Amino acid sequence: MMQRETALALIGVGFVLLLLLVGVALHISTPPSQPASQPEPTPKATPTVTAAFPPTQTASPVSPPVIVTPSLSPPATGTPAMPTVAAVPKGDTTVPTISPPLPSTPLPQLPSQSHLPPAKPSVAVEPETEALRWAKALVNTYRPQWRLGLTKSVDPRMGSESYAVFVEPNNKVTVEAKTRAGWLYGLLDLAEKLQWREPLPTQKLWIPALAERGLVVESPDWLAKPPRSQQALQSLLRERLKELAWWRFNTLVLKCDGREPTLDSVLSVLNRLGPEFNVKVVVWASVISPSVQKWVGQGGQILATSYYPHDSSIIAVSEPERAVQFVELGRTVALKTKFVAPYVPAFVDQIKRHRDKLVLLLRLDEGYRDVFWFDPAWAHQLVRAVRDAGVGGLWLYVRSVPSTWAITAFAQAIKSPESDGETLWKMRWAKQGQQADKWLAVFREASRILPELLWLGVATEPQYGASLKSFFSARPIDSSWGFTVLSVPETLKLSKKPDKRATLTADEIARRLEQRAQTIWELMAQLPEPSASDWKVAKRLTLLNSWLGQFYANKIDAAIAWGRFEMGDSGSGQDCVFHLAKSVRAWEQIVAIANSIYPQNNQWAIKLVELRRELEETRDLVAGSMP
């Protein structure tokens, strides 16, 4: 009996000890409770910073209310059915076309833990710069109740320009970055989304797709005719740097003569203010003047069109062979590339070493000068191609008008390269009551006309016209771009249509251009007259592009007919005159539009005289050959 009681007692003691051990384990594993933190006071806005979005470039002939906001008042008419947009010929799969929309990409989520030791990023201790105060003021314009925090990042994925944004409860928003550039871009990203009333993700990580993101500014007014006072000059250049930061360009390429009297003072201001807005300056001068040599001596970079021995220089070339040669030597090269397709030139694959030393200098000049271009889909496609090729970056040389439209298309591609390019504009313009689908289709078709004119190879600046003879000496785009364009003589030699789906004959180019023009006119008939000045100019220039397409469609038909006439087909002579007369009527429409935008003695008006003379001479030649 006593043994049984002893056993029960031991069991009871063991159970008590087990309960004590469990309690101790639970106590150890539970962290001590933290006292409730007091709410942080809302910081006061800095009174010395003007909360205003950067204005448009003074060189632009239009003035959108915000640099990324081409605005249009809601139309008074309803939304008619959407007509069919111009398509490429059947079976043509490799010729550049409109990219199908990409699937929506979710915003990147930051991991809750990294492989680094758990540690909360420390609050930024660096003094706030002028640029950061400006960016904060933009955010506070829409969310004055927010408590903005800037913290140092420990995320190994983030570089010097990357940022992460955390939107937390109780109006607390944190921008995490490793440098001031990242904080600046993060704040500007918040400001843009707030401006457009777009939803904010709770977490977002942004890593730039391109290291070099440059914009060429050619002989700006602030260099040729700067303000008289140094203070006014600083204020003007500060606004230009704000624009670049807003667009996420980190390089300003100043194209100038090099002998401007004010070049020294302008470069001094840019050199001092540029780092504030994460902008470096590269001088592209026609003459290596004492001012340019002084700039190089101070550590500044230049873009040289010939070999320059200083290591800080960047060599500008047009020939792929020279680009490969200099890159293989470790020199930084800017390859001047015409914008004929949203691809990287094929020769880039030949560069095996130092590919990051190559920068593509995309030229929207020459064939784009004084005409309209806004094609977000192509802009996004090209930025992705540059990123995937592993080259150093992309510089833009824009001479289309209004220039802000083309710049903004590429800026949004730089900010969000994985999107399809048009979705953002559809959402934003729809909020303003615009018929976004139709406007985007109109702009897309008008913009695609320009590279197709360059494919023909009849002129360096085909927007200013071409003679009938030029179609017989033309050198179309080479096949290294992945497709082939046949000239008029090559088309005439064909006994049947080419089997290759990546080959376009001259008459197929004509039909593409004609179809794009027809699509623009059909859509324009359904759209209301815009009220904003920048949209008015864009609409008129879009119509100018459409008549350019119609002019070249008629001119190609005339050239093919003339070729057959010279080969002995007498009936084709009258066909040539017929199509040539249609091309002159199309050019008269171009002149009427150009005269409403440019001075009366513009290049289109001057060219009309030559085209009319050509028509009369051709008519006489055909008539003289008749029996």
Domain with 311 in it: 212-419
Residue 55 above 50 pLDDT?
Answer: no
Q: Alpha helices, DSSP H only, in 368-492?
A: 376-389, 403-415, 423-431, 436-456, 488-492
Count other C-beta atoms under 10 Å from residue 447's C-beta.
Answer: 26
pLDDT-based confidence at 433, cuts 50/70/90? confident
Do residues 616 and 480 both lie within one domain?
yes
Helix (H) or strand (E) holding 284: strand 280-285
Give the separation between CA 381 and CA 141, rounded to whole angstroms. Answer: 34
> What is the structure's pLDDT at 54?
41
Closest CA to 314 of 209, 212, 181: 212
Domain with residue 178: its CATH number is: 3.30.379.10
Residue 564 above 80 pLDDT?
Answer: yes
Do residues 368 and 504 both lie within one domain?
no
Do residues 170 and 305 both lie within one domain?
no
Do residues 394 and 456 both lie within one domain?
no
Percent of the chain with pLDDT over 70: 79
> What is the structure's pLDDT at 495?
82
Do residues 217 and 161 both lie within one domain?
no
> What is the structure's pLDDT at 352?
87
> What is the structure's pLDDT at 127?
58
For the chain, the domain total comes to 3
Amino acid at 75: P
Residue 68 above 60 pLDDT?
Answer: no
Do residues 386 and 525 both lie within one domain?
no
> What is the structure's pLDDT at 308?
65
Do residues 221 and 366 both lie within one domain?
yes
Q: pLDDT tens-digit profile of 584-622?
A: 999 999 999 999 999 999 999 999 999 999 999 999 999
Percent of the chain with pLDDT over 90: 70
Closest CA to 373 of 381, 365, 382: 365
Contact present, 230 and 223 (Cβ < 8 Å)? no
Token pair for 415: 């900010």
- Whether residue 34 lies inside any domain: the answer is no
- What integer is the mean pLDDT of 274-282? 97
Residue 278 above 70 pLDDT?
Answer: yes
Averaged pLDDT score across all residues of the chain: 83
Listed residues 385, 419, 453: the one ending a domain: 419
Residue 7 above 60 pLDDT?
Answer: no
Q: pLDDT tens-digit profile of 506-559?
A: 999 999 999 999 999 999 999 999 988 989 999 999 999 999 999 999 999 999
Residue 184 above 50 pLDDT?
Answer: yes
Half-sphere exposure of 366 (CA within 13 A, CB side): 15
- Whether residue 326 lies inside any domain: the answer is yes
Do residues 406 and 355 both lie within one domain?
yes
Sign of CA pseudo-dihedral 185, 191, 194, 195: negative
Residue 65 above 70 pLDDT?
Answer: no
Find where tokens 């939803």 sit.
199
- What integer is the mean pLDDT of 16-33? 45
Q: pLDDT tens-digit profile of 73-121?
A: 322 333 333 333 333 333 333 454 433 333 332 322 222 223 333 334 5
> What is the structure's pLDDT at 123?
54
Listed residues 171, 206, 241: the one ending a domain: 206
Residue 139 above 60 pLDDT?
Answer: yes
Residue 417 above 70 pLDDT?
Answer: yes
Token pair for 381: 């496609």
Count other C-beta atoms under 10 Å from residue 364's C-beta.
Answer: 22
Count other C-beta atoms under 10 Å from residue 223's C-beta.
Answer: 21
Residue 476 above 60 pLDDT?
Answer: yes
Do residues 220 and 180 both lie within one domain?
no
Listed residues 190, 206, 222: the one ending a domain: 206
Contact present, 208 and 162 (Cβ < 8 Å)? yes
Distance in Å from the first CA to the final CA of the chain? 144
> What is the structure's pLDDT at 62?
30
Do residues 530 and 404 both lie within one domain?
no
Do residues 590 and 616 both lie within one domain?
yes
- Whether residue 147 lies inside any domain: the answer is yes
> What is the structure's pLDDT at 381?
97
Give the separation between CA 213 and CA 392, rounded to whole angstroms. Answer: 9
Token pair for 8: 């029960």
- Whether residue 104 lies inside any domain: the answer is no
Most confident of 114-118, 365-369, 497-501: 365-369
Torsional class of 540: left (φ above 0), alpha (ψ -120 to 50), beta (otherwise): alpha
Residue 47 above 60 pLDDT?
Answer: no
**Geometric angle at alpha carbon 242, from 372 and 136, rounded to 5°:** 130
- Whether residue 1 lies inside any domain: the answer is no
Pick from 344-348, 494-498, 572-576: least confident? 494-498
Radius of gyration of the chain (CA): 31
- Whether residue 44 lies inside any domain: the answer is no
> What is the structure's pLDDT at 624?
87
Domain with residue 395: its CATH number is: 3.20.20.70
Give the separation between CA 394 and CA 80, rounded to whole angstroms. Answer: 40
- Whether residue 19 lies inside any domain: the answer is no
Closest CA to 533 of 377, 370, 404, 375: 404
- What integer is the mean pLDDT of 33-58? 36
Domain with residue 450: its CATH number is: 1.20.120
Pick from 22-26, 348-352, 392-396, 520-524: least confident? 22-26
pLDDT-based confidence at 499, cuts 50/70/90? confident
Most confident of 22-36, 309-323, 509-523: 509-523
- What integer is the mean pLDDT of 426-447? 92
What CA dihedral angle connects 571, 572, 576 and 578, to 10 degrees? Answer: 40
Do residues 226 and 175 both lie within one domain?
no
- Residues whose CB falls within 8 Å of the CB of residue 258, separated by 6 or more in sequence, listed in order: 283, 285, 286, 287, 288, 289, 291, 292
pLDDT-based confidence at 408, cuts 50/70/90? very high
- Whether residue 95 lies inside any domain: the answer is no
> What is the structure's pLDDT at 294?
95
Does the bond joining 70 to the residue before it have cis omega, within 30 degrees of 0? no
- What integer is the mean pLDDT of 394-404? 96
